Amino acid sequence: MWFLKYVMGLNPAAPQRYLILGTAYHALLEGKSPGEIARWGADFAEVLPEATELFKARTEKGPPLPKATAIEKELRISSIPMTSKPDREEPNRVVRDFKTTSVRSKDDDAFWSVNGEIIGEMLAADATTCIVDIVNKNDGKTTQLEVTQSPEKIRALEELVEDLIEELNVRLHRARKMGGLSAIFPKRMTSCVGKYGRCHYYDRCWSGGAARLLYKKSPNNGRWIPMLTPEGSAYGADMQVTLTPEDIKAIAMKAIAEGL
């Protein structure tokens, strides 16, 4: 997925419905009107009644929400090349992340406690706590899980990102020199279908004919690439992908020629 999204710059032409629903739900929580959201397109108009029901369930039946000190503010994490955008920043060094789900698990606490997105949000906002605020699509009930930051979690996230960049450097340099990119960037088959359904790129990898073509170039093609290359990085040399944007574009053209 990383290669298709960030090197080739491909996104599904039609986002999955649950993503559109989640975006509409978040927009209502941010104070946008239903009329404004409906004007975003037919897909948003279609999910708006369900998003509105979830919004009402959360705000009218769920626990009260403290006053936010910031909403959807993008923050840069100083120690790793990532940005984060908590849904809300709240007093007393708390961030809140709104989620919707139709699946509950006895391991939800453990899952969110070590989730990199949540740890990154706390790190970016210098927060000690994140409230994972989950409304269930089936019954409208809200569950709040409290995640506490720790030095061990921060270091684990930093090590994960450092390892990812090291691996990407190796693979991208091999891709620049060699053919056979499908072997250099193999399919992560364990991620093809997960808890929430198919990977967004399932059809690109596994379908033939027209379904494989239902992807479009992203307007922010390879957003990570400029940030991680020496020309655009605000981080040290050890935290950069050591290829130029032109190298990345050449790899993408090679991938197209190979039929990826």
Please state, in angstroms and rounded to a whole number, the distance separating the CA atoms of residues 211 and 120. 35
Query: Per mean pLDDT, which of 85-89, 93-97, 238-242 is the most reliable?
Result: 93-97
In 3D space, the residue among 88, 92, 17, 15 whose CA is nearest the CA of residue 58 turns out to be 88
Is the pLDDT at 50 greater than 70? The verdict is yes
Percent of the chain with pLDDT over 90: 42
Interval 133-152 mean pLDDT: 94
Query: Per mean pLDDT, which of 103-112, 129-138, 155-164 is the most reliable?
Result: 129-138
Encode pLDDT of 216-241 as tens digits: 776 655 445 554 555 444 444 444 55
Cα pseudo-dihedral 179, 253, 160, 69, rounded to 10: 180
Is the pLDDT at 104 greater than 90? The verdict is no
62-149: what CATH class? Answer: alpha beta
The residue ranges of every structural domain in the chain are 2-13+154-257, 17-61, 62-149
The pLDDT assigned to 55 comes to 95
The lowest-confidence range among 11-20, 38-47, 115-124, 147-156 is 11-20
In 3D space, the residue among 201, 176, 171 whose CA is nearest the CA of residue 189 turns out to be 201
Interval 166-179 mean pLDDT: 82
